[in-house]
Every structure is written in structure tokens, then in C-alpha cells.
Structure 1
Amino acid sequence: MPVYREKNGTYTARFYIETIDGTRKQQKKRGFKTSREAKRYEADFLIKKAHSTEMSFKELYELYIEDVSHRLKQNTILTKKTIIEVKILPYFQKRKVRDITPIMIREWQNEMMKLTKENGEKYAKTYLRTLNNQFSAIMNYAVKYHGLRANPFIKAGSIGKRNADEMEIWTVAEFETFIKAVDKPISKLGFKILFWTGMRIGELLALTVKDILINENKIDINKSLQRISGEDIITDPKTPRSKRRLEVSDEIMEEIKKYIGMLYCPNENTRLFPFLKYVFEKDIKFFAEKAGVKIIRVHDLRHSHASLLLHAGMDIITVSRRLGHENIETTLKTYSHIYDPNSQKIQSFLNKLHI
């Protein structure tokens, strides 16, 4: 279709496309400064519509996000967009999809491995693996639906690693030593809840007054707080099974009850911990050093709780449900070095042989 010059001197691209039901639909866009820009828009649009690898990587990314946005949770989409738009698009957005080669990807991987955070530390190997997997997922999408012959990541290989380094945990004695050193009431209560329930930090930060079931000694986990692209976003928990109710001791519930009583005019939607994860990350390091115990991550309090339950002989199904894992395999994989349901039976058998 021809390009039209408007009265104000700009150009309009107007052409027809075929919709999913086979009918023709007019596609129009105004405001181009030159005829060439309008024609280029039409050509790029038709290439994109034809699912051709002649399209740019940026155009592929837009199609990919539009497709998966109907299938994934909002927080997952936001995380994908942040990673891709910051760490991948700047390198490849103008490249045609068919021209992206394994050697280009390896060069990008090398750049990612050299990057450092604001504090000068390199990115975690698990994060590097996430970057790599997000990029590869888009290229797999191009293979399945846009005619790309093969995913170049097959030859380029991967970076990073799937699992974090072996977790550090605190025993009850170590935690008690630590918590005595904490002189910030809000952080103190937060750390106690994390250690004695095993909930995720995002779940803690999203807790509101109505989630505290005082008469039942339970905490209702039904949402999570995440910081994505500089915004605090309340989302569904990580997995469907993450929606759960956690039993707590009388002592912990009494502390939570007193804490709520000290809040200024709280309502049922008042957040108990109205700040961000970094506050706990900073405090756990500071007070661990003050207490003279080894420094662990905030997430390791969750591991500490799981370890406590498993060493006490709690069955793996109960632990898995309490942690909100999607399946038992996740729990077994994470805590296989701790969980051994037969060890006590074997020890008992061997002891009997020596009687």
C-alpha cells in the first residue's frame, strides 16, 4: 500500500494484514517524519507478522513477551522484562534473528561474566545462569514458532550454575546468640518469624494485620512482595502450593500480637514490615558480627528452619508443605544432604547387633 502525506507534513503508513480468522484488516500508523520511515515501518511490520527470522531481535522479543504474558504470572513477566531489557537487548536489539551466531553469544556471555554490581562484586553464578536461560528461551521460541533453524545456544553452551553454593545454617543455639544481640525491635521480630517458620523474605514483607490469625496461632501466607524495576509489587506467592497457613508457637504469636498493638492506627491491610529486603540483609550481617556468630544470608534462615525440622525427625512431606514447595522433589533436592530417613533405622539395627 502507498504511504500518505498528511496536511501537517507528516506521513502515514497504511496497509492490510490477514487476521487469525482469515479476514483482511487495515493497519495504520501516523506521525512519521519522512516517507522512508513510514515505508520502513510497513516492511518491518510485515516481516514480523510473517514470523520471519529477518526480523530484529527486539521485534522477536516483543512477540515473545506478548505471547508469554498470557501464560505466566505478572511478577514472572516483569522479571523477564527487566533482565532482557537491561542485560540482553542493548547488545542484540538491532541484529536480525537469523544473524545471531554462537560466537556472538559467547562474546555476550563473556561480557556478562565481567560485569559487577554497584558494590564491586561480580554477579552470582546462579544469576548468570538465569540471564543465559532467559536469552536461550527467546531463541527457542524463535525455533518453535518463527522458523529459526537451530538455537545458537546449543553450540555456544551455558554460563553460571543452576544451584547456589552449599547453604549455611544456624543451629538454635547460634540463632539465640544472634537474636540477643539484635536491638532493633522490628528486625528482631522479623528474624524470629523467619527462623521459626521458614517463610520466604518476600512473604514476610507482604504480611498484613489480617494475615495474623491470633486465635489459631497461625500465619496466613497468601502473597509476596518483590522489588522489580524500582517498584514494590505485591504478587501471588512463588508457587500455588506457597499459599499456606503456618503454625507458630504461643511465644511468637504473643510477640506479634504485642507488636501489632504498638502500631499507629493499624487496619487489616497494614503491612507489618513496611520496608525492603535490604534492611534485613544489612541487619543480619551487622548483628551476626556483633554476636560473634558466622554470617549467613537472610534466605539461610529458611534453610535453618528446614534443617531444624529434618534433624528433629519431621517427615519430608510435612516439611515440604510447610516450606511451600511445589513438590516433594524440590525439598529432597534442596535438603538431600540433611534428610536421610533410614539413618536412624540403620544405627538402631547396628546397635542391636552388638547387644
Structure 2
Amino acid sequence: MGVYKEGKNWKVQVYYKDWQGNQKRKQKRGFRTKGEAKEWERDFLQQQSQGVDIEFGNFLEIYYKDMDVRLREHTMYTKRYIIDLKIRPYFEKKILSEITVADVRAWQNELLMYKDKNGKGYSQTYLKTINCQLTAIFNYAIRYYNLQDNPCRKAGAIGKSKGEPKDFWMQEEFNDFLETVSDKPETRMAFLLLYWTGMRIGELLALTYDDINLEEKTISITKSYQRLKGKDVITQPKTPKSIRIITMPDFLADEFREYCSHLYGIMKNERLFHFTKSHMEHCMAAGIEKSGVKRIRLHDLRHPYVKPTTKKFASFLKFFRAAAIAARSCSIRYSWLMLPFQISPFLKSPA
């Protein structure tokens, strides 16, 4: 075991025991300096140690390896992105078991004090998301690697679970925006579906022709689409309850029928919309600027639009929707832009 000179470069050869206790050998070649080779050797052995007296960055690799096989690819991609960008740089070289409450508080303060070039800080929901990722890492170390304590608990939380009230478009605003994409039939149809059905962008982009029943005026939601690392990835929807059947109102079904009539030669399992979320975001930003409607996010198109002053009505709708799904006989419009009392068949549970 050790570091050896090999031509102009260096190589590492180490022996270790895997999780079953079997003796294994690992070699790594191509290091330009002896120092680089020794650093790799140290990191590798730390990652095999099954302990918490190792650098935070090396423990992260253990955590990632375990989570990779347990989480959805998109979920793991988001987790890695947040941790590598906002957590790893601060804690990477610290020994995991020696990270203190003061260390966590100092890191939290940096997040709280951050301001971009426009003087804007992180949102309360984003702060909470980042903090929860660090908390999850320490909880994992406690549960599976016998770390004694989670310093995040004593440090306290930052951020909030709920952000500012979501903004939305009234029907007139949406129609003004829709005019800006009237020359793009595929994009126009996609925005119509997002606005009137409440489906997520990933669910929309995963739709195939086989998911559409124009006679019954229904759309079957069974999957989600993401573009990850240059690849098209189809996964299960966000939650089990996300698997559902959406009933389209008559006018939307007519629009969809007309759109589908121009899809010549499409296969049943072929995606209906051959673009990505970034395309939709780009078209939305351009359309907002051109039409002059207020700026909202793509995701905001699917939120229930109930003002804080209508909490009682919102509670009624929540109860009604739950009862409807349980009975599998009633349904309710998800996008409540036609308030106050237009309730019509819109969502129904799969048979």
C-alpha cells in the first residue's frame, strides 16, 4: 500500500475491506505530483473508514453514494447542486465530528448576509432549503455512522417553510400573454394546458399521445420529464397522489383536439411536446416583456389562486376535493380563476 513513481507520473495502490469484510485492492494512476497522489489516498481511505472522524467533503461522497440509489434522479441532482454550491465550500476540509454549533451559526450568518449585485438576498424558502440539506447530512451521520450530535439543532433554523403569497395571472392577463405565442402552436398549447389544468411542467413535458383521451376529454398523468446533464429523463411524478386523471373543460378539449389533428404520424408513446422547461421559461419571459403583463414564474401558473381573505372558501374547496377523490365520483377545477363559485368537473381519481 502506498504511493509510487510511474514514469513521469505517480500512482496509488491501497488495500481496504468492503462492507462485507472482503479484502479489496484499489489502484489509481496519472497523478502529476506525489502530493496529489497522497491526497487522493487519504481521501479514499477516509471514505472507507465508516467513521465520522473524517473530512466533511469525504463524508459527503459516502452520503451521495448512498442517496444516489434511493432518490429520484432529479431530486438527487437538486440535492447535489445545493450542497456543492452552498454547503461544501464552507465545511469541506473540516472534520465532520468536530463541526460545532458556532461553525454552523457562522455559516448561517453568511447566508443571511448575502446580497447579489442588485442588493437582493436569498428568499426565506431557499434559506430553509439550504439549512435543511445540512441538517439532513448530520442526521444521516447520527443514524448510520454514530455521530453523537447534530449541531444544526442547537444552532436553530433559518428561513421559512412558506414564502410570500404566490402571484398569478387573471384570465385577461393570460390571454394577453397567449397572444405573444400565437405563432408557435406547440408552445401555445403547452401554456394553455399549464394554465387550465394545474399540471406541473415536468408532467406536461412527459405527456405522450397515448395519455390523451379526446373522447372522454381526459389527460392521464403518470410520469414526469426532466432534462438532466444533457439527457432526457422520464421518472415517476413528484408524489404518489400526483398520479391522476385530469378532465378538460370543453373549450380546452376542443383546442387540444384541433392541435392533435395536425400531429401527423405521431406514435402513441411519443412525447407531445418536444422542448424543455428552459424553452418555456424563455418564451414566458419574452411574452411578459412583449405583452406588459406582470412578471410571474412558470410554476406559478399551476397554483390555486385563492386570496388570503377567502380562507373559509379555500378550506371548503380543500375538503370538497378530498371528498371527491375518495368517492371517485366528483371533481373540482384546480385553477380557480373563475371564482367565486364556479365548481365544475375537472379532476378525478383513476378508476
User: TM > 0.5 between the two?
Assistant: yes
The CA deviation string for residues 28-67 of structure 1, in whole angstroms up to 9 with x for no partner, is 3243677777666555544433322221111111111122
Q: What amino acid maps onto 1:28 in structure 2?
A: K
The CA deviation string for residues 135-175 of structure 1, in whole angstroms up to 9 with x for no partner, is 22111212222232211212332332211211234445554
Q: Does the aligned pair in 2 maintain the 1:11–1:34 contact within 8 Å?
A: no
Question: Which residue of 1 is the match for residue 54 of structure 2?
Answer: 55
Q: Does the aligned pair in 2 maintain the 1:171–1:304 contact within 8 Å?
A: no
Q: What amino acid maps onto 1:207 in structure 2?
A: L
Q: Secondary structure at the match of 1:88?
A: helix
TM-score normalised per structure 1 = 0.73
Q: Does the aligned pair in 1 maintain the 2:12–2:41 contact within 8 Å?
A: no
TM-score normalised per structure 2 = 0.74
Query: Cα gap change, 1:295/1:16 in structure 2, threshold over 3 Å: closer, same or farther?
Result: closer
Q: Does 1:251 align with 2:251?
A: yes
1:278: how far off? 4.0
User: How many pairs does the alignment contain?
Assistant: 322
The CA deviation string for residues 52-94 of structure 1, in whole angstroms up to 9 with x for no partner, is 2221111111111122223222221222122222322223222
Q: What CA distance in whole angstroms lies between the structure 1 residues aligned with 2:267 and 2:18?
A: 53
Question: Which residue of 1 is the match for residue 25 of structure 2?
Answer: 27
Question: Which residue of 1 is the match for residue 89 of structure 2?
Answer: 90
Q: Does the aligned pair in 2 maintain the 1:3–1:35 contact within 8 Å?
A: no
Question: Which residue of 2 is the match for residue 237 of structure 1?
Answer: 237
Question: Which residue of 2 is the match for residue 183 of structure 1?
Answer: 182
The CA deviation string for residues 177-207 of structure 1, in whole angstroms up to 9 with x for no partner, is 6546653433332222122211112211222
Query: Cα gap change, 1:33/1:259 in structure 2, threshold over 3 Å: closer, same or farther?
Result: same
Question: Which residue of 1 is the match for residue 344 of structure 2?
Answer: none
The CA deviation string for residues 234-275 of structure 1, in whole angstroms up to 9 with x for no partner, is 322101221222111233223223223334643334433322
Moved more, 295-304 or 74-83: 295-304
Query: Cα gap change, 1:160/1:319 in structure 2, threshold over 3 Å: closer, same or farther?
Result: farther
Q: What amino acid maps onto 1:90 in structure 2?
A: P
2:321 to 308, 311, 316: 316
Q: Secondary structure at the match of 2:162?
A: coil
Moved more, 139-148 or 41-50: 41-50
Kindly indicate which of the two structures has a greater share of residues assigned to helix: 1
Q: What CA distance in whole angstroms lies between the structure 2 residues aligned with 1:312 and 1:171?
A: 22
Q: Secondary structure at the match of 2:261?
A: helix
Q: Secondary structure at the match of 2:81?
A: helix
Q: What amino acid maps onto 2:24 in structure 1?
A: Q
What's the Cα RMSD here? Answer: 3.9
Q: Does the aligned pair in 2 maintain the 1:260–1:266 contact within 8 Å?
A: no
Q: Secondary structure at the match of 2:53?
A: coil
1:222: how far off? 1.7
Question: Which residue of 2 is the match for residue 202 of structure 1?
Answer: 202
Question: Which residue of 2 is the match for residue 64 of structure 1?
Answer: 63
Q: What amino acid maps onto 2:128 in structure 1?
A: R
Question: Which residue of 2 is the match for residue 193 of structure 1?
Answer: 193
Question: Which residue of 1 is the match for residue 161 of structure 2?
Answer: 162
Q: What CA distance in whole angstroms lies between the structure 2 residues aligned with 1:153 and 1:38?
A: 34
Matches within 5 A, 1:1-355: 2-3=1-2, 5=4, 10-17=10-17, 19-20=19-20, 23-31=21-29, 44-113=43-112, 122-172=121-171, 175-176=174-175, 179=178, 183-184=182-183, 185-228=185-228, 232-263=232-263, 265-284=265-284, 287=287, 294-304=294-304, 315-317=320-322
Q: What CA distance in whole angstroms lies between the structure 2 residues aligned with 1:311 and 1:180?
A: 35
1:103: how far off? 2.9
For structure 1, the residue ranges without an aligned partner over 5 or more in a row are 322-330, 340-355
Q: What amino acid maps onto 1:25 in structure 2?
A: Q
Q: What amino acid maps onto 1:258 in structure 2?
A: E
Q: What CA distance in whole angstroms lies between the structure 2 residues aligned with 1:45 and 1:7?
A: 20
Q: Does the aligned pair in 1 maintain the 2:187–2:280 contact within 8 Å?
A: yes
Q: Does the aligned pair in 1 maintain the 2:2–2:13 contact within 8 Å?
A: yes
